[in-house]
Chain A
Amino acid sequence: MRYLLLIYSEEPTAPPSQEEIDATMAEWWEFDGAIKAAGVHLAGDALQGSQTATTVRLKEGERVVTDGPFAETREVLGGYYLVDVPDLDSALDWAARCPGAKYGSMEVRPIQEMEA
């Protein structure tokens, strides 16, 4: 069964030091290697910061484009993993191992499977 692991965290207000960046990136690379080696990884990416987000809606057929994410929240979506695992417990295990769980929150959402 497929689950989307959504990675939410607060965006840093001040730029982190090079050592901090190196240490954090090492954790992310380690997790990324592990989830790919386990054969459950379908996709995964980091997103550009929320200041780059653009929201689009159709209002009475008219396209309305606004700057920024759809909701202003303290923790913003920063990336995701799409995994294929047997059940929620395994999905939660991967989410808990992800550095995103330590630096913010992981939201685990099952993918809705359409019956053909």
Chain B
Amino acid sequence: MSERAADSVEAVFREEWGRLLATLVRWVGDLDLAEEVAADAMAVALERWPVDGVPDRPAAWLLTTARRRAVDLLRRRQTYAAKLAVLKVEAERAESERLGADAAPTDVIGDDRLQLFFTCCHPALAPEARVALTLRYLAGLSTAEVARAFLLPEATMAQRLVRAKRKIREAQIPYRVPSAAELPTRLPAVLSVVYVVFTESYAASGGSALLRPDLADEAIRLARILHRLLPSQREIIGLLALLLLVDARRAARVDEAGALVLLEDQDRSHWDRTLIEEGRTLVVSALTGGAPGPYALQAAIAAVHDEAATVETTDWPQIVCLYDVLRATAPSPVVELNRAVAVAMVDGPDAGLALIDGLAAAGDLDRYHLLHAARGRLLDRLGRPGEAAAAYRRALDVVGNEPERAFLTRCLAAAERADTT
């Protein structure tokens, strides 16, 4: 077959995978079966499209093919549940054909992905299972890609997905969109999965970076899908804005040698202005109309950084104010730490250090390398290199990933040199 046909199948499939799967799940009520027949439809497409050409409505073609296959498989099962499912699929087909007769010739199939999002991110599933399910079934990554993204063996990831699907089926986790009343309690779990996918793109490292799927891109794609599905949800807008405003700095975050560059040392001319503009527009809507949520506030903080030409001209008092609101909305020791760093920029390193020492004494963040790293930097600025070196050593004890380890090792070496001179 021609490579171009294979590419177009691949492109259509990846784009449509989540939608196709979500619709099939709604029809047959079973993620495994939906996955199997979607994969079968893909295989048929790979065979036929290079010969017959790509159909005018590729998504509808895939759905029809998958549906026929599902009915075949269900008929063979002969169970009562399978018979019910066949009836449901046939009824859905009659319904979609009735609608299709009146619909525009463009490719209009429904979008059931929201249900699938809420199932994959159900609180009854373990957090790491939610992330794996969402990447596999909504972002359309293969099991091997999801495994590589988390630097796990493929068999481990496959096992994780199998267990999660078994729980969905056996505990009967429903495929449904929560009611408006339930949304405030259910949406945060969905947003958190997307956020974890994004932060993982920064945190995890090692292996061959080239082989890893780009999780930042996947997270942004997922956030955009959610935003389209629930356009009025301000925390989704806030999350999308946050991801764009942080991702805008991607090119400046590491130097040519791959070493980590701190925000204050980044070459801001390498920041992506288009992403910043889009993010800023979104932040405004996320902050408008009632008390803002934690993602909107973090996005606002990212926007203040992105708007500044240098670290000195950054509106630090504004950032402290935003952290004040954030700590009232979503209190956490990490928020306190970030606020302390901003306070150090406004009131001097002594003021920041006093706050960080208070946090260190509380002990919650003792295994969080950034607490010790931030302490080290403030002690550096205060001309106390011996204490700074001790803080960097503690940070190195608990840091997990390689670029940050390399960065802290450089900080430690500099502090040790300053201490002996």
Does B420 lie at the interface of the complex (its beta carbon under 8 Å from any beta carbon of A)? no
Are the CB atoms of A92 and B174 closer together than 8 Å?
no
| Most B CB within 10 A of own CB, among A87, A89, A92, A112 | A89
Q: A88-B124, A92-B124 are in contact. Are A110 and B172 (CB under 8 A)?
A: yes
Are the CB atoms of A89 and B174 closer together than 8 Å?
yes
Contact indicator per residue, chain B 161-174, by CB within 8 Å of chain A (1) or not (0): 00000000011111
Closest to B80 in A: A115
By a CB distance below 8 angstroms, the chain A residues around B170 are 110, 112
| Most A CB within 10 A of own CB, among B122, B172, B173, B174 | B172
Does B79 lie at the interface of the complex (its beta carbon under 8 Å from any beta carbon of A)? yes
Does B176 lie at the interface of the complex (its beta carbon under 8 Å from any beta carbon of A)? yes
A88 and B174 CA atoms in complex are apart in Å by 7
Are the CB atoms of B173 and A88 closer together than 8 Å?
yes
Residue of B79, B171, B174, B176 near A110 (CB, 8 A) is B171
Are the CB atoms of A86 and B171 closer together than 8 Å?
no
Are the CB atoms of A87 and B79 closer together than 8 Å?
no
* Shortest Cβ gap from A108 to chain B (Å): 8
By a CB distance below 8 angstroms, the chain A residues around B174 are 86-89
Closest to B122 in A: A88
A16 and B79 CA atoms in complex are apart in Å by 53
Q: A88-B124, A92-B124 are in contact. Are A115 and B79 (CB under 8 A)?
A: yes
By a CB distance below 8 angstroms, the chain B residues around A92 are 124
A83 and B172 CA atoms in complex are apart in Å by 14
A110 and B170 CA atoms in complex are apart in Å by 7
Does A56 lie at the interface of the complex (its beta carbon under 8 Å from any beta carbon of B)? no
Are the CB atoms of B172 and A88 closer together than 8 Å?
yes
A50 and B174 CA atoms in complex are apart in Å by 35
Interface residues on B, range: under 10
Does A1 lie at the interface of the complex (its beta carbon under 8 Å from any beta carbon of B)? yes
| Most A CB within 10 A of own CB, among B79, B171, B173, B174 | B171
By a CB distance below 8 angstroms, the chain B residues around A115 are 79
A26 and B173 CA atoms in complex are apart in Å by 32
| Most B CB within 10 A of own CB, among A86, A88, A108, A110 | A88
Contact indicator per residue, chain B 106-123, by CB within 8 Å of chain A (1) or not (0): 000000000000000010
A70 and B88 CA atoms in complex are apart in Å by 46
- Given contacts A87-B173, A88-B122, A108-B171, 15 further A-B pairs with CB under 8 A are A1-B172, A86-B172, A86-B174, A87-B172, A87-B174, A88-B124, A88-B172, A88-B173, A88-B174, A89-B173, A89-B174, A89-B176, A92-B124, A110-B170, A110-B172
Interface of B is mostly: loop
B binding-site residues for A, Cβ under 8 Å: 79, 122, 124, 170-174, 176
* Shortest Cβ gap from A61 to chain B (Å): 33
A binding-site residues for B, Cβ under 8 Å: 1, 86-89, 92, 108, 110, 112, 115
Please name the 8 residue pairs, one residue from A and one from B, whose CB atoms are nearest each other, closest first. A87-B174, A87-B172, A110-B171, A88-B173, A88-B171, A1-B172, A88-B172, A89-B174
By a CB distance below 8 angstroms, the chain A residues around B122 are 88
By a CB distance below 8 angstroms, the chain B residues around A110 are 170-172
10 pairs of residues in contact across A and B, judged by CB atoms under 8 Å: A86-B174, A87-B173, A88-B172, A88-B174, A89-B173, A89-B174, A89-B176, A108-B171, A110-B170, A112-B170
Closest to A115 in B: B79
A87 and B176 CA atoms in complex are apart in Å by 11
A40 and B172 CA atoms in complex are apart in Å by 16
* Shortest Cβ gap from B59 to chain A (Å): 29
Closest to B174 in A: A87
Closest to B169 in A: A110
A92 and B173 CA atoms in complex are apart in Å by 10
* Shortest Cβ gap from B370 to chain A (Å): 34
By a CB distance below 8 angstroms, the chain B residues around A86 are 172, 174
By a CB distance below 8 angstroms, the chain A residues around B172 are 1, 86-88, 110
* Shortest Cβ gap from A80 to chain B (Å): 17
* Shortest Cβ gap from B118 to chain A (Å): 10
* Shortest Cβ gap from B44 to chain A (Å): 31
By a CB distance below 8 angstroms, the chain A residues around B173 are 87-89
Closest to B118 in A: A89
Closest to A110 in B: B171
A1 and B170 CA atoms in complex are apart in Å by 10
A108 and B173 CA atoms in complex are apart in Å by 12
Closest to A109 in B: B171
By a CB distance below 8 angstroms, the chain B residues around A89 are 173-174, 176
A41 and B356 CA atoms in complex are apart in Å by 54
A83 and B46 CA atoms in complex are apart in Å by 48
